[in-house]
Structure 1
Amino acid sequence: MTRILHIFTGLALGLLAAGAAAQDDVGAKAERLETLRERIGELEAAIDQDRQREDSLSAGLAELERRIGEIAGDVRALEREIAARAERVEALESEIATERENVARQRERLAAELRAAYRVGREGVLRLLLNQEDPDRVDRMIAYYGYLGRARGERIEAALDAVETLRRLRERRRSEQEALEQARAERESRLQRLEAGRAEREALLAELRERIERQGGTLADLEQQAEALADLVGRLRDTLADIPETTAEARPFPAHKGDLAWPLEGRVLAGYGSQRSGGVRWTGLLIDGEQGAPVRAVAHGRVVFADWLRGLGLLLIIDHGDGYLTLYGRNQSLYREVGDWVAPGEVIAAVGDSGGRRGSALYFEVRADGDPVDPVAWLRSRS
């Protein structure tokens, strides 16, 4: 009986131990599951933060590239001012040289007259007059010396005027030179800000690219850019539906097909329909150009968009009527605003690399009723 009791007790203890072990295993698995859920939640939160951060980076890039464009535009205006002031300084230098010669001639003439007058002296003139016996001759000599005196006085006045003119010219030159130096200093300051902005942009781009590559989102990013552009064009078409077409003096846009001047003289880096990364195709032309090179309108029209757009940077869109639009993207600066009318060949922007791109180039599109068409069919053939 005692032996059976021992066996039963051992079996019971074994079962209790096995049950406890099973409960421990279930608890451990539940704990691991909870840990896994926490990690998944953290990862999802991190991904969500990455997306928000990417949106923030894109917004930061837009603001930064707008600022760079404004500074570049300021530099361009300062360059024009500097050129104009330098030209005025050069013209003043020429006037000063001419007036300096005039003053020198006046001085030499007066000096010669004064020396002659000194040699004759006042008593000599009186003696010469008293020695004359003919009264008419005396009258003529008095008139002659009076004329000489008045002429000498006029020449003295002219000499003084020349000296004053020279003084005013020198003062104008000094003022113009100071303004020129100030404009040059301002240009240097803006250029430094421009370089700082570009350095900041490069750092921002590096972070953006790292995130895009890490998420493997190149294709998705390109598709989002295409969707954003299509959406913008669609909204513009709706807006423009109630706006009158081009002015009467302008030829209809379709009449220019095959004869439009190129918006930029440069090599075509990517053609319409050519392959992009991720299997996406180009819907326009990518034209090579130096940073700051002038971008020109291909035809008469009105600016309907002039702002930053993801993927295309500083973008300008011109409405040519009859459902036709031309798009000019990746610019460094925009020189026209929404509502401005532009003429063929008018400079509307400067070539750049905005939109987070490497290498300056112009992105150019032609759209008919919202759909992209091959720009080459509209542009003048290059020989």
Structure 2
Amino acid sequence: MAAASKDQELRQLQNKIKALAENISSLNQQKNQANAELKRIEQQYGETSRTMQNLDEQVNVKQQRIDEIQQEIQLQNGWLLTQQTQLAEQVKTAHALGRQEQLKLLLNQQDINRSSRIMTYYRYFNQARLEQLQYINASLQLLTTLEQEKLQEKQGLAKLIAENKLLQKQLVLSKAERKHILLQIKQDYKDNRKQLSRLKENEKQLKQLISKLDQVTQAEVATKITAQSFSKSKGKLSWPVRGKIIKSFGNHRAGGKWNGVLIKAREGSKITAIAHGQIIFSDWFKGYGLLVIIKHDKNYMSLYAFNQSLYGEVGDWVNAGDMIATLGNSGGREKAGLYFEIRKKNKPLNPKKWCKKRR
């Protein structure tokens, strides 16, 4: 009964989290049509990129299977050639003995024991030939099956490649559309004062978002704190992605300071969770693009922004090292990079003090 009650509480809480994420528009109101369009394009781009990555994985699986089938065909052809050679030798030997040899042996009863031994030999010899023929037939059937499977795999591979090419065209169009929108936004914020105001407003909205998410998830996450709390992991956490830190915690930026770190890495790189926790936000957010927020316990959470694609949904529980996104340049960024924060009760902390020292 207690377990059922807990399950019901969990479902209710996850529904609250999802509802909050869906209705977060009050914190994420767009001030102009350009930002709304940027959100649409970057979400579409992220979905397309994720689909392409899945297709690439399927293409690799298909190609590996085709290679395996080709190896099996080569082995079968080699084995078949050996069997055919052995059968040819048997036929040649039988021919040398002569077709009437068995009949002669039956008529010649001078040495009954010798005749019996030779007749037994003939039976074994004929049985061996029959078995050899059966093996050859089975091998030929297997080769036919392998060739058919190879053809099917090649057709499936061709279909996946065609789908991938179509998605690549869509990505090119999305990039061009995004570039046009960014130029429009840049023109809108040409005035430095407007740009400063925009950055401050984005940060203010993020704080409000985190506060609301924190309130909703407080009770549930508190019941699932692991024996080793997040605070004991200070200095031991793995970084979410390999790359170069180009903006450190506390560095100056327009309108204030960086509350986290900006890591430069290859676009499409896998981004992983730094510790066990629950995804409490996974969506596009103005100024931060495709954003993931993970709650680790009642005090701590981590943020991952500017992503290309999102791989987790609100309510999902993740472990350290689980893939949650791919690195990108969403949120209106010109260059690919990951913006990464760690917070304690909505207070930013220096990630360098929490993650392992970089070599």
Superposition TM-score tier, normalisation by shorter sequence: 0.7 to 0.9
Q: Is the 8 A contact 1:54 1:208 kept in 2?
A: no
How high is the sequence identity, in percent, across the aligned residues?
A: 33
Q: Deviations over 1:252-290 (max 9, x none)?
A: 01001122111122111111221112x322111111111
Secondary structure in 1 matching 2:309: strand
Q: CA deviation at 1:232?
A: 0.5
CA RMSD across the alignment? 1.8
Residue 317 of structure 1 aligns to a residue in which SS? strand
Shift of 1:54: 5.0
- For 1:70, which of 47, 63, 76 is the aligned residue? 47
Give the letter for the 1:253 counterpart: F
Aligned twin of 1:234: 211
Question: For 1:353 and 1:328, how far apart are their aligned partners in 2?
Answer: 12
Higher relative contact order (CA 8 A, sep 6+): 2
Equivalent residue for 1:336, pick from 306, 312, 330: 312
Secondary structure of 2:335 counterpart: coil
Q: Distance in 1 between matches of 2:103 and 2:305?
A: 91
For residues 121 and 165 of structure 1, the distance between their equivalents in structure 2, rounded to whole angstroms, comes to 35
Deviation per CA, 1:17-61: give whole Å up to 9, x if none: xxxxxxxxxxxxxxxxxxxxxxxxxxxxxxxxxxx9952211111
Residue pair 2:261, 2:340 contacting (<8 A) in 1 also:
yes
Q: Which has the higher helix share?
A: 1
Conservation of the 8 A alpha-carbon contact between 1:129 and 1:141: no
Q: CA deviation at 1:250?
A: 5.2
Aligned counterparts of 1:286 and 1:53: Cα–Cα separation in 2: 25
Give the match for residue 81 of structure 1.
58
CA distance in 2, matches of 1:250, 1:99: 56
Mean Cα deviation higher: 320-329 or 104-113: 104-113
Structure 1 unaligned spans of 5+: 1-51
Say whether residues 1:107 and 2:84 are aligned partners. yes
- Larger-gyration structure (1/2): 1
What residue in structure 2 maps to residue 14 of structure 1?
A: none
Secondary structure of the residue aligned to 1:291 is coil
* Corresponding residue of 2:108: 131
- Note the C-alpha offset of 1:230: 0.7
Task: Measure the CA separation in 2 of the matches of 1:162 and 1:252.
Answer: 61
Cα pair 1:246 1:301 within 8 Å, conserved: no
With the length of structure 1 as denominator, give the TM-score of the two structures.
0.82
Equivalent residue runs for 1:153-164 within 5 Å: 153-164=130-141
Matching of residue 146 in structure 1 with residue 146 in structure 2: no
Q: Which residue of 162, 176, 199 maps to 1:199? A: 176
Where does residue 178 of structure 1 map in the other structure? 155
Pick closer, same or farther for the CA change 1:89–1:297 going to 2, 3 Å: same
Between the two proteins, the alignment pairs up a number of residues equal to 331
User: Alignment partner for residue 258 of structure 1, among 205, 215, 235?
Assistant: 235
Q: TM-score, normalised by structure 2?
A: 0.88
Q: 2:265 — aligned with what?
A: 289
Where do 5+ consecutive residues of structure 2 fail to align?
1-28
* Aligned position for 1:307: 283
Secondary structure at the residue paired with 2:348? strand
CA distance in 2, matches of 1:244, 1:344: 16
